[in-house]
Structure 1
Amino acid sequence: RVRPRTPGPATVPPRPAAPRLLQPPVRAAPAQPCRSPARRLQGGGRCPARSRKQVRARWPAVPRPAWLAGTGGPGRRADGSLSAAGQKKELQELYLLGPQLGSGGFGTVFSGTRLSDGSPVAIKHVARESVLQWDERPDGSRVPMEIVLMEKVGSGCRSIIQLLDWFELPDSFVLVLERPERSQDLLQLLQQQEFLSEEAARWLFCQVLEAVRHCTACGVLHRDIKPENLLVDPESGDLKLIDFGCGTFLQERAFTQFAGTRTYCPPEWICQGRYHGHAATIWSLGVLLYVMVCGCLPFEDDREILLGELIFRPQVSPECRHLIRWCLAQHPAADRPQLDQIFRHPWVWAGCL
């Protein structure tokens, strides 16, 4: 039983060791199946699933993409500094391109290695016409919002993927990201195991909370928190939030344009065509936690989102159910928790006491 303790929202104490995420959970047939297997965990939306990581020690020969030729234009570092044309080495002089890992509506991701030290990287190519939002620099240049957001959250949180370098090409941008070698996205892990134990789910959920708190402190709203955008090391349990392609700056007023995955959108967007960033993030966290412990989406369409009916596996604890229901409350301002309240929830703290 959890001891009566109310820690502050600022920190989550370190846990002794990560659970074995790849240990298959004990499965018992639920009293009522969550969703049809064919549709389990599949969510439509404007931000499709991203890369599927396959780590290889040596890269086989791959066709040279057309955009890789002539990449010696103005170079920009992840710290935001801009070097004059010709002062920075070309992309192919710094990184070795590997096989394609995945592609979606907003870019294509390749494996790669940094030639200076052999570190593995991910190389994301984004065509100009696929960029949703732009931000203007003090010098008048325009860069994709994704790059600006990743620069803002670039340090201080190990649960967020790091932008190492980026390049501007005539018709596109190239982002060089860190690539944890043993990681796979959480969707793959769930498809292998069906669902996670509450111990494993808590371990990962706390890291997501830390990533969200850091984004919030930096004034960044991710807007697409889901299993496909969470890289997990199955051995250590380390997690990293990826893909800020749907993100934007936080604001106090309501958003009137939706970006993200439809099955993770809050009911206020469906009813009113507007949502607040903090409340929508809490809703997506509730959907994510449900997916981790139940192995399926809580809602498959707008009608189910508005209905708000939740069906749990019988093995899900009352504390976990309470947290999920709280995050998925229909009325955002009155009933949904704040982020610091989630940090203090008994289910979150159960593994720390």
Structure 2
Amino acid sequence: WAMPRARPRPRARPRPRASRRGLGSARLWRCWLWRCWAGISAWGQGGIAALWLRLSRPRPRPRPRPRPRPRPRPRPRPRPWPRSRPRPRTQPPPRPRPRPRLLPGPADTRGAAAPAASAAACPARAPPLGSAAAGLEPPGPGAGGDARPGALGGRSGAVSGPGPSAEGRVSPAGEAREALQDRYRLGSLLGRGGFGSVYSGTRLSDGAPVAIKCVPRARVQHWGELPNGARAPLEIVLLDRLSSGCGGIIQLLEWVELPNSFLLVLERPERCQDLSGFLAERRFLPEEEARGLFRQVLAAVRHCTSCGVLHRDIKPENILLDLATGQLKLIDFGCGAFLQDTAYRQFAGTLPYSPPEWIHHQHYHGEAATIWSLGLLLYHLVMGKHPFRRGQQFIWGRILFPQWLSQECQNVIRRCLSMQPLDRPSLEDLFNDPWLQGVHHP
């Protein structure tokens, strides 16, 4: 028997010897590491030494800065009546202006005496408008008043006396010979809107308070024709139509055409406040008081309709309240238009008081839109807020009333705020409503 041969064991592989290249790279790595460390140490020692030398140097003391001397404030100089802009030399010389054309009116009664209340409550005579002692800012070029003092050429309508005459018409119209600043003293700014600025004023002849409205010519969008054939802004034409027969509408005393603007002198009660400010102080009014004020507004609107005038911007801001007598006056006919039977395709007024047919269909009828604005005004009087406003949005829907408000007043508001224009009452039906009967006028 042959014995099995034992398998030979595998020989161990010899370890590879380190090559000269590997030994050289290891020595180079140690060399570079030592050099980097030496460089960093040298840089650090040098930086520390440089910092020590820098800190050891004596610092120069800073010189005190001289205090600036306060500049003297310039004294405010009183501005004269707005002057016209200088014309370039390249333009030809201006043509001579025609003779002033005036508003129609009765004979001059400049010597008429003012009411005793106005004369008693009037302070001492103030310096004339535009003088150095007045010290009040007149309407500047931004307000459209660009005319030379005393140069009141062009068309004008001059009226004297404390207000409208006994017949209810615009008081005497005469030639505007004396300058406007010689007859009125300009006061502070009362308000500013899209069609112009309104300033308080005082008539120097009798001390009666007036309001001077400055309308730039560039902002006049609609023009009309006066009965004498003169062309004027539509607001002046509408006020001329409404100058008689109703005390609830602001009266136009005088108007003057300047080169770049129109000045309207309107009546102003001595103690007056717009209805929005009056409601802001009292939040809302009792039902009896709101009914009396609403009937006055309704009478003024009915007079406008009978004269063929549509206000188109009935809201508390455009209603002036005489705090002494409690009488209301409808103001600001800048958005007004002639009344027409067809629908209006262009909106003018305040968007939150616009009817829903304008928002949905972009057209509205004059009387239906007026009834809608009157309903919003009545709700604002008794509730102190807009009926459809929720935050910053207007949500058309159900009208909420408190329990203390009478059912008759709620019915009037619901009828005026009907979503369908045909469901709203007419002005005569609204004026003859039982809830509005038996109101005492101031």
TM-score range, shorter chain: 0.7 to 0.9
* Shift in alpha-carbon separation, 1:234–1:137, aligned structure 2, 3 A: closer
SS in 2 for 1:100: strand
- Counterpart code for 1:148: V
1:145 and 2:234 correspond = yes
Is residue 139–residue 214 contact of structure 2 (8 Å, CA) maintained in 1?
A: no
Q: Which of 69, 77, 96 does residue 148 from structure 2 map onto?
A: 69
User: In the TM superposition, what are the counterparts of 1:167-178 in structure 2 within 5 Å?
Assistant: 167-178=256-267
Aligned to 2:253: 164
Aligned to 1:50: none
* Shift in alpha-carbon separation, 1:61–1:208, aligned structure 2, 3 A: same
Structure 2: distance between partners of 1:328 and 1:176: 36
Is residue 136–residue 143 contact of structure 1 (8 Å, CA) maintained in 2?
A: yes
Aligned to 1:277: 366
Listed one character per residue, the Cα deviations across residues 150-201 of structure 1 (whole Å, up to 9, x for unaligned) are 0000111001110000000000000000001111000001000000011111
- Counterpart code for 1:182: R
Q: Report which stretch shifted further, 138-147 or 126-135.
A: 138-147
Note the C-alpha offset of 1:91: 1.2
Structure 1: distance between partners of 2:334 and 2:171: 18
1:222 and 2:311 correspond = yes
- Counterpart code for 1:326: R
Aligned to 2:429: 341
* Shift in alpha-carbon separation, 1:80–1:277, aligned structure 2, 3 A: farther
Aligned to 1:256: 345
* Shift in alpha-carbon separation, 1:270–1:115, aligned structure 2, 3 A: same
SS in 2 for 1:240: strand
Structure 2: distance between partners of 1:280 and 1:217: 16
Structure 2: distance between partners of 1:64 and 1:346: 49
- Counterpart code for 1:158: G
Note the C-alpha offset of 1:81: 10
The two structures, once aligned, show a CA RMSD in angstroms of 2.5
SS in 2 for 1:228: helix
1:199 and 2:281 correspond = no
Is residue 77–residue 166 contact of structure 1 (8 Å, CA) maintained in 2?
A: yes
Note the C-alpha offset of 1:63: 2.5
Listed one character per residue, the Cα deviations across residues 202-253 of structure 1 (whole Å, up to 9, x for unaligned) are 1110100110111011100000111001111234211100000000000000
* Shift in alpha-carbon separation, 1:309–1:88, aligned structure 2, 3 A: farther
Quick one: percent identity of the two aligned structures?
Answer: 54
Structure 1: distance between partners of 2:437 and 2:223: 39
Structure 2: distance between partners of 1:151 and 1:310: 39
Note the C-alpha offset of 1:318: 0.8
Unmatched tracts of structure 2, length 5 or more: 1-120, 127-133, 159-169
Structure 2: distance between partners of 1:127 and 1:81: 26
Structure 2: distance between partners of 1:116 and 1:224: 34
Structure 1: distance between partners of 2:196 and 2:404: 40
- How many residues in Structure 1 have an aligned counterpart in Structure 2? 294
Is residue 326–residue 336 contact of structure 1 (8 Å, CA) maintained in 2?
A: yes
* Shift in alpha-carbon separation, 1:96–1:276, aligned structure 2, 3 A: same
User: In the TM superposition, what are the counterparts of 1:1-353 in structure 2 within 5 Å?
Assistant: 57=123, 61-66=135-140, 67=145, 69-70=148-149, 71-77=151-157, 88-136=177-225, 142-300=231-389, 304=394, 307-333=396-422, 335-349=423-437, 351=439
Listed one character per residue, the Cα deviations across residues 76-126 of structure 1 (whole Å, up to 9, x for unaligned) are 227599988xx5322112211111112111111111111222211000001
* Shift in alpha-carbon separation, 1:137–1:148, aligned structure 2, 3 A: closer
Unmatched tracts of structure 1, length 5 or more: 1-54
Is residue 358–residue 364 contact of structure 2 (8 Å, CA) maintained in 1?
A: yes
* Shift in alpha-carbon separation, 1:75–1:119, aligned structure 2, 3 A: farther
* Shift in alpha-carbon separation, 1:235–1:136, aligned structure 2, 3 A: closer
- Counterpart code for 1:204: L
- Counterpart code for 1:74: G
SS in 1 for 2:264: strand
Structure 2: distance between partners of 1:246 and 1:77: 22
Structure 2: distance between partners of 1:304 and 1:123: 35
Is residue 346–residue 363 contact of structure 2 (8 Å, CA) maintained in 1?
A: yes
Structure 2: distance between partners of 1:83 and 1:251: 33
* Shift in alpha-carbon separation, 1:64–1:338, aligned structure 2, 3 A: closer
Structure 2: distance between partners of 1:140 and 1:210: 30
- Counterpart code for 1:178: E
Structure 1: distance between partners of 2:180 and 2:427: 40
Is residue 74–residue 82 contact of structure 1 (8 Å, CA) maintained in 2?
A: no
Note the C-alpha offset of 1:304: 3.9
Aligned to 2:29: none
Q: Report which stretch shifted further, 221-230 or 125-134.
A: 125-134
Is residue 345–residue 362 contact of structure 2 (8 Å, CA) maintained in 1?
A: yes
Q: Report which stretch shifted further, 63-72 or 343-352.
A: 63-72
Structure 2: distance between partners of 1:81 and 1:170: 25
Is residue 94–residue 116 contact of structure 1 (8 Å, CA) maintained in 2?
A: yes
